[in-house]
Structure 1
């Protein structure tokens, strides 16, 4: 298993964000948002720009990312990279990290 310090820190941040935002309704991330565009976020992982983000592999999606704060099978869930907003469970961005 290849856990990096970055993945660990993102997971800790995700836990902290979950506690502070769990009770609030959140807006959905807009793919045109500056942060979303920089990370290559798309609401449909199959539309990821594989030329710009060659790290993408079929089967990767926000719902299977260590940072996704929704429950398994949730259509939308919080992500600490997009504070106060939800990402699509079927989405993807370049910060995707496999759940342990």
Structure 2
């Protein structure tokens, strides 16, 4: 089968569009990550890395508690980031922690 220039151009445009859309979708995903500077995050002492929790300020913190094993976490156990019922459409780090941690 011989490929025409027209078919080649249509295929090229299709592939380029797909790559562009996947890049935009990835950029939007990273924009939804919860920042530690967010007022809601600060209100509950959210940190992206549970090993940095201020144990004097949050005495209820116990080693091994992370967003990834919290009952409020809406991602899979293998996800680096996932949803949280506390923060709406923002994504929290699975290795993070906040004072609303619950394993119930």
Residue 42 of structure 1: aligned partner:
47
Structure that is richer in helix per residue: 2
1:71 has 2:83 as partner = no
Out of 44, 55, 58, which is 1:53 matched to? 58
TM-score (norm 2): 0.69
Residue 55 (structure 1) shift: 0.7
After superposition, what is the alpha-carbon deviation per residue over 1:42-92, rounded to whole angstroms, capped at 9, x for unaligned? Answer: 000000111111111110000000000001121000001111100000000
Structure 1 length as normaliser, TM-score?
0.71
Highest relative contact order (Cα 8 Å, sep 6+), 1 or 2? 1
* Corresponding residue pairs, total: 76
Structure 2: unaligned runs, 5 residues or longer: 1-27
User: What RMSD, in angstroms, separates the aligned Cα atoms of the two structures?
Assistant: 1.5
Q: How far apart are the structure 1 equivalents of 2:46 and 2:86?
A: 11
